């Protein structure tokens, strides 16, 4: 009886499982194209007998990123299947975030991942806004951790104008994707119709031109 119930429950749970998350922005079916060109969701796997410990190790995050040459005084270094092949299909990405004085990771979203950040050095102001417009923001000191829910707009900011800061993030996708709100709005390729931006942000044509120009860095 109990076994039957358990079996039924398990079967039902299997039925209501949602689809697995896509690993790419889109994956258009090739069935209508004249020539078959298929793109794999992820990368190929090597023969498991040829896997070595180096496939699961990387020093990609060991070196400080150069923040001085960046307009926002921040440098983000991430693990990928190129620098850490063992990550393939594991649903994980790590990021090292170096901040110069007043460095900022501007408002952005990851469409395929939640992000958890631990501050290792300096003081960071971090936050996100939910879909109702409510803001959650916090000062992070070394050792403190903050979570950014999947798909919500969030930012990180070094509140010290001089000293550098350092944080490390984990994201629960092999390909989290990043859309920076300002860049995606004002300088996508090709650009949105100017009228759309004028209406959306209640600004004039000169404002649109000025913002576009200053973002082309």
* Residues in touch with Mn ion (CB under 5 A): 115
Residue closer to Mn ion, measured from CB, 48 or 71: 71
Residue closer to Mn ion, measured from CB, 84 or 113: 113
Residue closer to Mn ion, measured from CB, 117 or 208: 117
Q: How far is residue 93's CA from residue 87's CA, in Å, rounded to a whole number?
A: 8
Q: How far is residue 79's CA from residue 21's CA, in Å, rounded to a whole number?
A: 20
Residue closer to Mn ion, measured from CB, 155 or 186: 155
Residue closer to Mn ion, measured from CB, 148 or 186: 148
What separation, in Å, do the N-terminal and C-terminal C-alpha atoms of the chain show?
68
To Mn ion, the closest distance from the beta carbon of 47 in angstroms equals 35
Residue closer to Mn ion, measured from CB, 98 or 115: 115
To Mn ion, the closest distance from the beta carbon of 115 in angstroms equals 5
What lies within 8 Å, CB to CB, of 74 at 6+ separation is 67, 97, 98, 99, 100, 103, 104, 105, 156, 158
Coil, strand or helix at 60: coil
The CA-atom distances, in angstroms, between 102 and each of 46, 146, 148, 178 are 43, 19, 21, 21
Taking CB atoms, the residue at the shortest distance from Mn ion is 115
To Mn ion, the closest distance from the beta carbon of 100 in angstroms equals 18
To Mn ion, the closest distance from the beta carbon of 110 in angstroms equals 6
Tokens of 24: 């790419």
Q: How far is residue 62's CA from residue 82's CA, in Å, rounded to a whole number?
A: 16
To Mn ion, the closest distance from the beta carbon of 146 in angstroms equals 11
To Mn ion, the closest distance from the beta carbon of 42 in angstroms equals 21
Q: What are 100's strand-pairing partners?
A: none
* Helices 205-215 and 194-201, packing angle to 10 deg: 100
């Amino acid at each position: 009886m109990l076994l039957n119930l358990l079996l039924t429950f398990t079967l039902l749970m299997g039925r209501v499982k949602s689809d697995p998350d896509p690993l790419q922005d889109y994956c258009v079916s090739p069935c209508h194209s004249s020539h078959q060109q298929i793109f794999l969701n992820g990368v190929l796997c090597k023969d498991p007998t040829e896997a070595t410990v180096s496939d699961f190790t990387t020093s990609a995050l060991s070196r400080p990123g150069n923040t001085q040459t960046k307009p926002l005084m921040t440098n983000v270094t991430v693990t990928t299947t190129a620098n850490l092949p063992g990550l393939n299909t594991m649903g994980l990405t790590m990021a090292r975030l170096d901040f110069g004085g007043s460095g900022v990771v501007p408002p952005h979203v990851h469409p395929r991942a939640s992000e958890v950040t631990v501050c290792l050095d300096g003081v960071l102001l971090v936050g996100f806004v939910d879909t109702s417009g409510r803001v959650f923001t916090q000062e992070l000191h070394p050792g403190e951790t903050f979570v950014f829910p999947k798909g919500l707009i969030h930012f990180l900011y070094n509140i010290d104008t001089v000293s550098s800061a350092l944080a490390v993030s984990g994201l629960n996708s092999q390909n989290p994707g990043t859309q920076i709100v300002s860049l995606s709005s004002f300088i996508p390729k090709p650009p949105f119709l100017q009228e759309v931006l004028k209406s959306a942000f209640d600004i004039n044509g000169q404002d649109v031109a000025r913002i576009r120009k200053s973002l082309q860095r």
